[in-house]
Amino acid sequence: MRPLPTWPGIVAAIALVPLALPWPARAQSSLVYLSLEELGNVTITSAARREQHLADAPASIFVITADDIRRSGATRLPEALRLAPNLQVSEVYAGGYNITARGFNANSANKLLVLIDGRSVYSPLFAGVFWDVQDVVLEDVERIEVASGPGSTLWGVNAVNGVINVITRSAADTQGTLASVSGGRRERSAALRHGLGLPGGGALRLYVKRSDLSATETAAGAPVADAGHMLQGGLRADWGGTGDRFTVVGNAYRGNHGQPKPGTIVINGASFALDTIRLSGANLLARWETTLAGGELSVQGYLDRTARVTPPFFDDTLTTADVELQYTLRPARGHTLVLGGELRRSRDRVEHGSPMFAILPERLNQAWSSLFAQDEIALTDELQLTLGARVERNDYTGSEFLPSLRLAWKPSRDHLWWASVTDTVRAPSRFDRDVYIPDRPPYLLGGGPDFRSETARVLELGYRGQVLPAVTLSATAFHADYDQLRTQELAASRTSLYFGNGMKGRVSGVEAWGIVQAAPWLRLYGGIALLHPNMALKPGSHDTGGSVAATEGAMPRRQWQLRAAFDLPRETALDLMLRRVGELAAPAVPAYTTADLRLASRLGADTEIALLCQNLFDRAHGEFTAVETRTQLRRNLMLQLHMRYR
C-alpha cells in the first residue's frame, strides 16, 4: 500500500492546480477587486488624522483591506492582524494575544495604541490591550490601518511603536442580511447582521456574534484551561451626506475563559485556585462631522464600561468617558492645519480577591487632557514639511510634550520618499504605580511610587512606490533610542522591591513589503521585518527581574510572510499564506513556520463556502510563554459559510 501524502505534499499539489487549468485572458470571478493603482489610492486617516491617499502618506502604514480579510478566512480580529507584516502577533492562549510593532512584546505589549471606529481600547490598568474582548464582525470591516512607528503627536501617549486603526463600513453600505458560520476543532463562531434604512436618509446596522474556543494543550499533552466563549452584539447608525454627518456606534459583550496557568498557586504555604475569568462590557460612541468656515469640524464622544473578574487576583470595573474635538483647515496657500483637543475621565474600581496581591488605592479616578496641532506645509510641488506637537497631561507625571518633524519628497506620481524624527512617551499605568504584594505592609513589592514615563526618540527613513507597472513596494528603516524603561528594583533596605526606570536601549530595524500582480488571476504579497535590539541597565540600577533579558528576548530578530491569491475559474478562489517567525530567547520559544490554505467557491452571487486549513506544515507550534504552560497551536480544519440576503 502506498504511503499517505504528507501535508507539505498536499499543499504543493493544490498550489500547482491553478497552473494546469485553462486560464482566460482575465479571471472570470474577479475576486481580487483592487488594482495596484487603486490600492495606492485607498483613503486612510491614521497618518494625518484626515483623509489622504495611501500613496501620499509619509509613514510606514500597511492597509488590510476588506478583501484581504475575507480571503484570509480570519474569524477574529487578532487573526486578521496576522496579515500585517509590520506586526508581531503571538497567541498566548486560546483567544488571548500579545500584539506589538517593532518589538517590546514583553511587559504586556504596552507600546501600541488600538482604535476601533475612533474609540481607544487601551487599558490604563496595564497600558496594553485585552485582546480576548476585542472583536468585530469582520465582514463589516472596511479596512484596518496598521501604522508602525510613533503616532503620539496625533494620537497621544502610548502610541510609541504604532497605531492600529480598525474602521468599519458605514451602515449604508451594509444593507440586507448577512449570516456567517465557521466551525472547526479549535473554534466555532456564528454572526448575524441586518442593515435597514432609516427615515431621513439614514441607515442602521444591527449585529450579534457568538464565538466558542476549545481548550488547548501543552507540548507535553497536558490540558490548558483556556476554553471560553464570547457573546456580543451592537449597532451602527449613519445619517447625512456632503454637509453634516452623524455616526452612532454601540457594542456590548459578555463571556468567560479559563486561566491558562496551573490550576493552583502556592504562596507562603497557602493555596489559591485560578478560577474562570469573567468578562463583560458595553460602549457607546457618537460622532458629528460638518463643514465650518471653509474647514472640517469633527466632534466625538464615547462612554466605555468594562468589567474583568480574574480570581483570585482582582475584580476590575473601569468606566471611561472621552470627548474629542478636531478642526482641519487650510489657513493659507500650501498649508493644511489640523487642530484638536481631547479630554478623558476614568473611574476605576478594583477589589482584590486574596491577601497575596492588591492594586492600591482600590478606588481611583483619573483624568487626561491634551491639545495637538499639525501643519503640513507644501514647500514645493514635490517637497512637503510636516510639523506637529502635542501637549498631554496625566495624573501621574503631569504634562508631556510630544513633537514630530516629517519631510516628504514625491519626485513623481509613483514614488514617495520620506524621513521623520519624533519624541514619544508611554505614560505610567496602574500596574507600574499601584501594584502591591501582599496587600498590606510589610510589602515584598511596593508598587512604583516614583515611576516616570518611558521615553523614545525615533528616526525613520522610508519609501513607497510603484517600482514597476505590476510591482509596488514599501520599505522603512528606523532607529529608536529608549530611556527610562521599566525595571524591578531592589529597595535600599534590601527587603522589598519596587518598579523603577532603570533600563535604556536602542532598537534598529527594517520593515518592508510588496505586492506583485504576476498575472490577471494571480497576486503575490511578501513582507519582512528585521530587528536589532540592544538593551542595558542604567548606572545605579539594581534590577532583580532580568529586565534586559526579558525585553530583548521577547523580540524575534526576523519574521517574514508570503501570500498568494489565485482567482480560479467558476467563481473559485485559492489563497495560500506562509509565515516564518524567528526564535525568542525569553521566554525560550523555537522559531516556527506556518502555512494556511483557503479554498473558497461562490454558490451564486450571495453565498460563499470555504475550507480553511491552518498550520499545515507542523503538527503544532507554540508562540509565547514558558514551555511548561505554553499553548501548542495544532493543525486545524475549518468549514465556513457566508450568506447574504438582499
For residue range 148-207, list pLDDT tens digits in order. Answer: 999 999 999 889 999 999 999 999 999 999 999 999 999 999 999 999 999 888 999 999
Q: What is the CA radius of gyration of the chain?
A: 25
Half-sphere exposure of 361 (CA within 13 A, CB side): 6
Q: Is the pLDDT of residue 21 over 70?
A: no
At 92, list the grid cell.
498566548
DSSP structure string for 88-116: EEEEEETTEEEEESSS--STTTTT-EEEE
- What pLDDT was estimated at residue 646? 78
Q: Which residues contact 221 (CB under 8 A, 6 or more apart)?
A: none
Pairing label, strands 162-168, 113-116: parallel
Question: Could you tell me the pLDDT band of residue 13, with boundaries at 50, 70 and 90?
Answer: very low
pLDDT for the residue numbered 629: 86
pLDDT surpassing 80 at residue 421: yes
Q: What is the distance between the alpha carbons of residues 594 and 578, in angstroms, rounded to a whole number?
A: 6
CA distance 567 to 387: 44
Residue 17, C-alpha cell as written in the block: 492546480
The answer to whether residues 392 and 376 touch, using CB atoms and an 8 Å cutoff, is: no
Give residue 563's pLDDT band: very low, low, confident or very high (50, 70, 90).
very high
Domains in the chain, CATH or no CATH each: 7-645 (2.40.170.20)
Whether residue 483 is predicted with pLDDT greater than 60 in this model: the reply is yes
Lowest-confidence segment of 104-108, 231-235, 617-621 by average pLDDT: 104-108
Indicate the pLDDT class of residue 323, thresholds 50, 70 and 90: very high
Tell me: pLDDT of 24 over 70. no
The whole-number average pLDDT for the span 296-301 is 97
What pLDDT, on the 0 to 100 scale, is given for residue 272? 58
Q: Average pLDDT of the chain?
A: 91
Q: What residues does 195 pair with on adjacent strands?
A: 176, 205
> What mean pLDDT is predicted for residues 256-283?
74
- Would you say 431 and 159 are in contact if contact means Cβ atoms under 8 Å apart? no
What is the C-alpha to C-alpha distance for residues 153 and 401, in angstroms, rounded to an integer?
A: 9
Q: State the average pLDDT over residues 577-602.
A: 96
H/E element, 47: none
Whole-number percent of the chain with pLDDT over 90 = 82
The amino acid present at 483, given as its one-letter code, is: D
Q: Report the pLDDT value the prediction gives residue 506, as an integer from 0 to 100.
A: 98
pLDDT given at position 264? 46
Contact at 8 Å (CB) between 488 and 549?
no
pLDDT in tens, 205-228: 999 999 999 999 998 898 898 999
Q: Which pLDDT band, with edges at 50, 70 and 90, does 7 fall under?
A: very low
Query: Can you give the pLDDT at residue 349?
Result: 97
Would you state the pLDDT for residue 8? Answer: 40
Tell me which residue of 124, 115, 61 sits closest to 426, measured CA to CA: 124
Task: Give mean pLDDT, residues 564-572.
Answer: 95
**16 confidence band (pLDDT: 50, 70, 90):** very low
Q: What is the pLDDT of residue 38?
A: 79
Distance CA 393, CA 341 (A): 12
Q: Is beta strand 636-645 parallel, antiparallel or unpaired with respect to 607-614?
A: antiparallel
pLDDT at 270: 52
Beta strands in 242-313 (DSSP E): 245-257, 264-267, 270-273, 277-292, 295-310
* The model's pTM: 0.93
Q: What is the mean pLDDT of the segment spanning 97-118?
A: 91
Q: What is the pLDDT of residues 77-90, one digit of tens each?
A: 999 999 999 999 99
pLDDT classification of 510: cutoffs 50, 70, 90? very high
C-alpha cell at 350: 478594583
Interatomic CA distance for residues 100 and 78, integer angstroms: 11
| Least confident segment among 280-284, 489-493, 504-508 | 489-493
The angle subtended at Cα 640 by Cα 634 and Cα 645, nearest 5°, is 160
Q: What is the average pLDDT across 368-373? A: 98
Distance CA 155, CA 150 (A): 9
Element at 293 (helix H, strand E):
none
605 Cβ neighbours under 8 A, 6+ residues apart: none
* Mean per-residue pLDDT, 371-394: 98
| Residues belonging to the chain | 646
